[in-house]
């Protein structure tokens, strides 16, 4: 969970030059390929023209700070930081990591941990390039392990950079971070289906307010935000979130940035997502999945067991009555006197 600061930043907005999709060039008859050294030199010149720092890397440089009792967790964080964060970079439109990020590990019982709600496993400060993690709270939705938690919070830092330090709606901020951190699993689909088809938010404004509710509202908001970001990528291209952040960095409001990035108004996309897409994106894939099949088989088996127990109980009662009548009137009278 991350609530980014709203103070402006002098960082310039990122242009499309560094991430524009490049098409393939059809082969030309008689064309001789260029030497490998020439191609490498051309790529180097292209990076310089695009303004990419020479130290940019697809993996963040992490500086871990924490108490001695969390030393093992610190080692895990440093190892996880060496992985490829390309997917996280693509969602935010960044080229790479040019500056280090500080990760602060705090145990339960620390003053800051006491101030935070129990469902908050970490948060980020983009202006300080700092991530705070509470490792003991990792097994909570949407972060099921330390890897997803780290990627989630690092994505928040990149969102702040991509937006030039300007305000980013919570649904977009958390949606990007959640998509960057984890695969779309069965739990996400179930929470998303319950949120969309039930009495959940029906607009991004309501979705933002849900992040300030109780733990159940927040979990629902995470699932919906991630679902909406994935919907935007499917409908308007994988760079859609990054284009919105570019518009915000240029000083546009959300509606204008969304319109220029997608060609449609935000309210129209909301209507399609919260109404039209609910059935096809949740129930149909879920009902046709192997998980739904096993759930149905399990339910039928439990129903058969319950009915079998009812039949056995009725049968045992009939046997008892037959034994009482076969025992004769004298034994029945004696049993009644005893009772």
DSSP string covering 109-169: TSHHHHHS-TT--EEEEGGGTEEEE-GGG-SBTTB-SHHHHHHHHHHHHHHHHHTTT----
* Domain presence at residue 114: yes
Cα 219–chain centre separation: 10
Highest averaged pLDDT of the listed ranges 30-34, 86-90, 141-145: 86-90
Residue 338 placed within a domain: no
Are residues 143 and 209 both part of a single domain? no
Tokens of 142: 């949407």
| Cβ-Cβ contacts under 8 Å for 227 (sequence gap 6 or more) | 188, 192, 196, 273, 281
Pair 253, 261: CB distance under 8 Å = no
Domain boundary among 105, 137, 162: 162
Q: Are residues 181 and 157 in the same domain?
A: no
Q: 227 and 187: one domain?
A: yes
325 found inside a domain? no
Query: Of 153, 163, 125, which is closest to residue 244 (Cα–Cα)?
Result: 163
The answer to whether residues 181 and 306 belong to one domain is yes
Which residues are paired to 105 by β-bridges? 133
Which helix (H) or strand (E) segment holds residue 84: the answer is none
Q: Of 141, 162, 183, which marks where a domain is finished?
A: 162
Whether 148 and 184 share a structural domain: no
Which residue has 């695969």 as its token pair? 183
Instruction: List the single range of 31-35, 134-138, 256-260, 319-323 with lowest mean pLDDT.
Output: 31-35
Do 170 and 307 lie in one domain? The reply is yes
Cis peptide before 142 (omega within 30 of 0): yes
pLDDT tens by residue, 116-129: 988 889 999 999 99
Q: Encode pLDDT of 69-100 as tens digits.
A: 999 999 999 999 999 999 899 999 998 998 99
Specify the number of domains making up the chain. Answer: 2
Domain-located, residue 322: no
Q: What distance in Å separates the CA atoms of residue 162 and residue 160, rounded to the nearest whole number?
A: 6
Q: Contact at 8 Å (CB) between 48 and 205?
A: no
Helix (H) or strand (E) holding 105: strand 101-105
pLDDT at 290: 65
Alpha-carbon distance 258 to 254, whole Å?
A: 6
> What are the tokens at 123?
């948060």
Distances (CA, A) of 84 to 12, 61, 149: 25, 12, 15
121 and 202 in a single domain? The answer is no
- Are residues 156 and 283 both part of a single domain? no
Residue where a domain terminates, one of 162, 192, 219 = 162
What is the mean predicted confidence (pLDDT) over 286-310? 74
Same-domain status, 155 and 169: no
Which of 16-20, 58-62, 228-232, 280-284 comes out lowest in average pLDDT?
A: 16-20
* DSSP helix/strand/coil, 64: strand
| pLDDT-above-90 percentage for the chain | 45
Any idea which of 23-27, 67-71, 258-262, 318-322 has the lowest mean pLDDT?
23-27
In a domain, 105, yes or no: yes
Tell me the mean pLDDT in the region 167-175: 96
The reply to whether 323 falls in a domain is: no
Is residue 87 located within the same domain as residue 220? no
Asked if residue 199 and residue 137 are part of one domain, the reply reads no
Q: Which positions ≥6 away from 136 have C-beta within 8 Å?
A: 107, 108
Averaged pLDDT, 165-176: 96
Residue owning tokens 């103070």: 7
Question: Is the pLDDT confidence value at 253 over 80?
Answer: yes
Q: Is the same domain home to 191 and 210?
A: yes
| pTM for the whole structure | 0.65
For residue 96, give its domain range.
52-162
């Amino acid at each position: 969970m991350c609530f980014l600061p709203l103070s402006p930043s002098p960082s310039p907005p990122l242009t499309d030059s560094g991430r524009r999709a490049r098409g393939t060039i059809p082969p030309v008859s008689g064309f001789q390929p260029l030497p490998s050294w020439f191609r490498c030199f051309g790529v180097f010149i292209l990076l310089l023209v695009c303004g990419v720092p020479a130290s940019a890397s697809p993996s963040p440089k992490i500086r871990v700070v924490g108490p001695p009792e969390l030393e093992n967790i610190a080692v895990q964080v440093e190892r996880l930081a060496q992985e490829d964060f390309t997917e996280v970079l693509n969602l935010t439109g960044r080229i790479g990591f040019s500056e280090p990020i500080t990760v602060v590990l705090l145990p339960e019982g620390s003053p800051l941990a006491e101030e935070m709600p129990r469902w908050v496993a970490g948060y980020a400060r983009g202006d300080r390039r700092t991530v705070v993690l509470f490792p003991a709270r990792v097994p909570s939705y949407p972060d099921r392990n330390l890897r997803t938690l780290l990627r989630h919070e690092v994505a928040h830092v990149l969102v702040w950079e991509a937006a030039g330090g300007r305000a980013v709606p919570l649904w977009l901020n958390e949606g990007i971070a959640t998509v960057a951190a984890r695969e779309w699993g069965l739990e996400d689909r179930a929470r998303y289906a319950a949120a969309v088809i039930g009495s959940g938010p029906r607009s991004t404004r309501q979705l933002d307010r849900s992040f300030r509710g109780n733990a159940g509202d927040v979990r629902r908001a995470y699932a919906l935000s991630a679902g909406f970001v994935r919907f935007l990528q499917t409908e308007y291209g994988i760079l859609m979130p990054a284009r919105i952040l570019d518009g915000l960095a240029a000083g546009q409001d959300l509606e204008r940035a969304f319109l220029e990035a997608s060609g449609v108004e935000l309210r129209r996309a909301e209507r399609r997502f919260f109404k039209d897409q609910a059935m096809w994106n949740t129930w149909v894939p879920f009902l046709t999945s192997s998980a739904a099949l096993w759930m149905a088989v399990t339910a039928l088996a439990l129903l058969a067991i319950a009915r079998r127990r009812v039949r056995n109980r009725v049968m045992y009662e009939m046997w008892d009555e037959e034994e009482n009548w076969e025992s004769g009137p004298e034994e029945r009278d004696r049993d009644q006197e005893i009772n």
